[in-house]
Chains A and B, each alone.
Chain A
Amino acid sequence: KQEVTQIPAALSVPEGENLVLNCSFTDSAIYNLQWFRQDPGKGLTSLLLIQSSQREQTSGRLNASLDKSSGRSTLYIAASQPGDSATYLCAVRPPNTGFQKLVFGTGTRLLVSP
Protein backbone atom coordinates (compact mmCIF):
# COMPACT_ATOMS: atom_id res chain seq x y z
CA LYS A 1 0.00 0.00 0.00
CA GLN A 2 1.36 3.38 -1.03
CA GLU A 3 2.06 5.73 1.88
CA VAL A 4 3.03 9.37 1.57
CA THR A 5 4.82 11.27 4.33
CA GLN A 6 5.52 14.97 4.56
CA ILE A 7 8.15 16.59 6.73
CA PRO A 8 8.02 18.90 8.55
CA ALA A 9 4.41 18.90 9.69
CA ALA A 10 4.64 22.62 10.39
CA LEU A 11 7.11 25.33 9.50
CA SER A 12 7.38 28.97 10.54
CA VAL A 13 9.78 31.31 8.75
CA PRO A 14 10.32 35.06 8.41
CA GLU A 15 9.45 36.73 5.15
CA GLY A 16 12.14 36.51 2.48
CA GLU A 17 13.57 33.15 3.43
CA ASN A 18 14.00 30.33 0.96
CA LEU A 19 12.52 27.06 2.19
CA VAL A 20 12.16 23.41 1.29
CA LEU A 21 9.22 21.11 1.94
CA ASN A 22 9.77 17.37 1.77
CA CYS A 23 7.58 14.54 0.55
CA SER A 24 8.44 10.85 0.55
CA PHE A 25 6.49 7.88 -0.78
CA THR A 26 6.96 4.17 -0.18
CA ASP A 27 6.28 2.80 -3.67
CA SER A 28 8.52 4.33 -6.32
CA ALA A 29 6.30 3.10 -9.15
CA ILE A 30 4.16 6.18 -9.63
CA TYR A 31 2.61 7.84 -12.66
CA ASN A 32 3.03 11.36 -11.41
CA LEU A 33 3.34 13.54 -8.32
CA GLN A 34 1.46 16.71 -7.64
CA TRP A 35 1.91 19.53 -5.13
CA PHE A 36 -1.17 21.35 -3.89
CA ARG A 37 -1.82 24.36 -1.73
CA GLN A 38 -4.76 24.43 0.68
CA ASP A 39 -6.01 27.60 2.34
CA PRO A 40 -8.32 27.40 5.36
CA GLY A 41 -11.90 26.80 4.33
CA LYS A 42 -10.97 26.45 0.69
CA GLY A 43 -10.29 23.63 -1.69
CA LEU A 44 -6.98 22.48 -3.05
CA THR A 45 -5.12 24.49 -5.65
CA SER A 46 -2.71 22.61 -7.86
CA LEU A 47 0.76 24.16 -7.88
CA LEU A 48 2.95 21.79 -9.85
CA LEU A 49 2.56 18.38 -11.46
CA ILE A 50 5.62 16.27 -12.26
CA GLN A 51 5.28 13.32 -14.61
CA SER A 52 7.14 10.16 -13.66
CA SER A 53 9.58 10.74 -16.53
CA GLN A 54 10.43 14.26 -15.37
CA ARG A 55 12.92 15.40 -12.74
CA GLU A 56 11.53 18.82 -11.91
CA GLN A 57 8.96 21.49 -12.67
CA THR A 58 9.12 25.23 -12.08
CA SER A 59 6.45 27.87 -11.73
CA GLY A 60 7.48 31.34 -10.64
CA ARG A 61 9.09 31.12 -7.21
CA LEU A 62 8.23 27.44 -6.89
CA ASN A 63 10.39 24.53 -7.97
CA ALA A 64 9.47 20.90 -7.41
CA SER A 65 11.87 18.02 -7.91
CA LEU A 66 11.20 14.32 -8.17
CA ASP A 67 13.53 11.41 -7.45
CA LYS A 68 11.45 8.31 -8.14
CA SER A 69 14.15 5.80 -7.27
CA SER A 70 14.48 7.14 -3.75
CA GLY A 71 10.78 7.90 -3.39
CA ARG A 72 11.25 11.60 -2.70
CA SER A 73 10.08 14.98 -3.87
CA THR A 74 10.89 18.46 -2.64
CA LEU A 75 9.07 21.74 -3.08
CA TYR A 76 11.38 24.72 -3.00
CA ILE A 77 9.86 28.14 -2.35
CA ALA A 78 12.12 31.09 -3.04
CA ALA A 79 11.87 34.46 -1.29
CA SER A 80 8.85 33.46 0.81
CA GLN A 81 6.01 35.93 1.34
CA PRO A 82 3.23 36.11 3.94
CA GLY A 83 0.79 35.19 1.17
CA ASP A 84 2.54 31.83 0.90
CA SER A 85 1.11 30.87 4.30
CA ALA A 86 -1.03 27.79 3.75
CA THR A 87 -0.93 24.01 4.01
CA TYR A 88 1.05 22.30 1.27
CA LEU A 89 0.09 18.79 0.25
CA CYS A 90 1.83 16.37 -2.05
CA ALA A 91 -0.02 13.55 -3.75
CA VAL A 92 1.02 10.63 -5.92
CA ARG A 93 -0.88 8.54 -8.40
CA PRO A 94 0.18 4.94 -7.91
CA PRO A 95 -0.18 2.52 -10.83
CA ASN A 96 -1.46 -0.47 -8.92
CA THR A 97 -4.70 1.32 -8.07
CA GLY A 98 -5.43 2.58 -11.52
CA PHE A 99 -5.00 5.97 -13.06
CA GLN A 100 -7.51 7.87 -11.03
CA LYS A 101 -6.73 7.65 -7.35
CA LEU A 102 -4.53 10.24 -5.65
CA VAL A 103 -2.76 9.30 -2.43
CA PHE A 104 -2.05 12.35 -0.30
CA GLY A 105 0.42 13.11 2.42
CA THR A 106 -0.69 14.76 5.66
CA GLY A 107 0.64 18.15 4.62
CA THR A 108 3.03 20.82 5.85
CA ARG A 109 1.50 23.92 7.49
CA LEU A 110 3.58 26.91 6.48
CA LEU A 111 3.48 30.27 8.23
CA VAL A 112 5.47 33.13 6.77
CA SER A 113 5.73 36.09 9.12
CA PRO A 114 6.09 39.67 7.87
Chain B
Amino acid sequence: GAGVSQTPSNKVTEKGKYVELRCDPISGHTALYWYRQSLGQGPEFLIYFQGTGAADDSGLPNDRFFAVRPEGSVSTLKIQRTERGDSAVYLCASSLNGGTTYNEQFFGPGTRLTVL
Protein backbone atom coordinates (compact mmCIF):
# COMPACT_ATOMS: atom_id res chain seq x y z
CA GLY B 1 0.00 0.00 0.00
CA ALA B 2 0.93 3.65 -0.13
CA GLY B 3 1.57 3.99 3.58
CA VAL B 4 1.51 2.21 6.91
CA SER B 5 -1.95 0.98 7.80
CA GLN B 6 -3.28 -0.12 11.18
CA THR B 7 -6.42 -1.97 12.14
CA PRO B 8 -8.70 -1.47 13.89
CA SER B 9 -8.67 2.31 14.13
CA ASN B 10 -10.52 2.09 17.43
CA LYS B 11 -10.84 -0.75 19.90
CA VAL B 12 -12.93 -0.74 23.05
CA THR B 13 -12.54 -3.67 25.40
CA GLU B 14 -13.22 -4.63 28.97
CA LYS B 15 -10.63 -5.01 31.66
CA GLY B 16 -9.12 -8.46 31.61
CA LYS B 17 -9.80 -9.17 27.94
CA TYR B 18 -7.27 -10.06 25.24
CA VAL B 19 -6.72 -7.77 22.24
CA GLU B 20 -4.75 -7.88 19.02
CA LEU B 21 -3.67 -4.82 17.07
CA ARG B 22 -2.48 -5.17 13.49
CA CYS B 23 0.07 -3.20 11.48
CA ASP B 24 0.70 -3.38 7.72
CA PRO B 25 4.03 -1.67 6.94
CA ILE B 26 5.04 -0.04 3.69
CA SER B 27 5.85 -2.71 1.15
CA GLY B 28 9.56 -3.52 1.12
CA HIS B 29 10.29 -2.02 4.53
CA THR B 30 12.26 -4.49 6.61
CA ALA B 31 12.12 -2.58 9.89
CA LEU B 32 8.93 -2.19 11.91
CA TYR B 33 8.33 -0.37 15.19
CA TRP B 34 5.56 -0.15 17.75
CA TYR B 35 5.06 2.90 19.97
CA ARG B 36 2.46 3.76 22.57
CA GLN B 37 1.13 7.28 23.06
CA SER B 38 -0.80 8.11 26.21
CA LEU B 39 -2.99 11.18 26.36
CA GLY B 40 -0.95 14.37 26.37
CA GLN B 41 2.34 12.53 25.98
CA GLY B 42 4.73 11.82 23.17
CA PRO B 43 4.98 8.31 21.73
CA GLU B 44 7.04 5.83 23.74
CA PHE B 45 8.98 3.05 22.09
CA LEU B 46 7.74 -0.50 22.65
CA ILE B 47 9.46 -2.89 20.24
CA TYR B 48 11.45 -2.97 17.02
CA PHE B 49 11.54 -5.74 14.41
CA GLN B 50 14.22 -6.25 11.80
CA GLY B 51 12.68 -8.78 9.45
CA THR B 52 10.92 -11.47 11.43
CA GLY B 53 12.85 -11.08 14.66
CA ALA B 54 12.39 -8.66 17.53
CA ALA B 55 15.73 -6.83 17.61
CA ASP B 56 14.80 -4.67 20.60
CA ASP B 57 11.82 -5.29 22.89
CA SER B 58 13.09 -3.24 25.79
CA GLY B 59 10.09 -0.92 25.71
CA LEU B 60 7.45 -3.56 26.36
CA PRO B 61 6.07 -2.65 29.80
CA ASN B 62 5.51 -6.20 31.06
CA ASP B 63 4.90 -9.77 29.97
CA ARG B 64 1.26 -9.09 29.13
CA PHE B 65 2.52 -7.43 25.95
CA PHE B 66 3.80 -9.47 23.05
CA ALA B 67 4.34 -8.78 19.36
CA VAL B 68 5.01 -10.99 16.36
CA ARG B 69 5.98 -10.54 12.74
CA PRO B 70 6.05 -14.10 11.40
CA GLU B 71 6.66 -13.39 7.72
CA GLY B 72 8.60 -10.17 8.03
CA SER B 73 5.74 -7.98 6.88
CA VAL B 74 2.51 -7.67 8.89
CA SER B 75 2.93 -7.38 12.65
CA THR B 76 0.48 -8.02 15.46
CA LEU B 77 0.73 -6.50 18.92
CA LYS B 78 -0.99 -8.68 21.48
CA ILE B 79 -2.08 -7.57 24.93
CA GLN B 80 -3.30 -10.11 27.48
CA ARG B 81 -5.43 -9.37 30.53
CA THR B 82 -5.87 -5.75 29.56
CA GLU B 83 -5.83 -3.09 32.25
CA ARG B 84 -7.29 0.42 32.23
CA GLY B 85 -3.76 1.78 32.17
CA ASP B 86 -3.23 0.16 28.78
CA SER B 87 -5.61 2.70 27.23
CA ALA B 88 -3.62 4.69 24.70
CA VAL B 89 -3.01 5.15 21.00
CA TYR B 90 -0.75 2.43 19.65
CA LEU B 91 1.33 3.61 16.73
CA CYS B 92 3.17 1.50 14.21
CA ALA B 93 5.99 2.72 11.99
CA SER B 94 8.17 1.18 9.33
CA SER B 95 11.45 2.09 7.68
CA LEU B 96 13.36 0.76 4.72
CA ASN B 97 15.91 -0.81 7.02
CA GLY B 98 16.92 -0.51 10.61
CA GLY B 99 20.65 -0.52 10.65
CA THR B 100 21.80 2.78 9.21
CA THR B 101 22.11 6.21 10.67
CA TYR B 102 19.70 7.76 8.20
CA ASN B 103 16.57 5.77 8.86
CA GLU B 104 13.34 7.70 8.46
CA GLN B 105 10.37 6.06 10.12
CA PHE B 106 6.94 6.40 8.51
CA PHE B 107 4.01 6.20 10.89
CA GLY B 108 0.54 4.74 10.59
CA PRO B 109 -2.62 6.46 11.89
CA GLY B 110 -2.63 4.42 15.07
CA THR B 111 -5.13 2.28 16.95
CA ARG B 112 -6.92 3.95 19.83
CA LEU B 113 -7.37 1.35 22.56
CA THR B 114 -9.83 2.01 25.35
CA VAL B 115 -10.03 -0.41 28.26
CA LEU B 116 -13.19 0.02 30.32
Interfacial residues, chain A to chain B (CB-CB below 8 A): 4, 31-32, 34, 36, 41-46, 49, 51-52, 89, 91, 93, 97-107
Contacts and interface: CB of A to CB of B under 8 A. Distances in A.
B101 to A, nearest CB: 5
A93 B104 CA distance: 11
Contact of A99 (B35, B43, B45, B98): B98
Contact of B102 (A36, A51, A91, A98): A51
For chain B, the bracket of interface size reads 20 to 34
Prevailing SS type, chain B contact patch: loop
B42 A32 contact: no
B56 A32 contact: no
Contacts of A103: 45
Nearest to A49: B104
A99 B101 contact: yes
Interface in B29-57: 31, 33, 35, 40-45, 48, 50, 55-56
Residue of A43, A45, A98, A104 with highest tally of chain B CB at under 10 A: A43
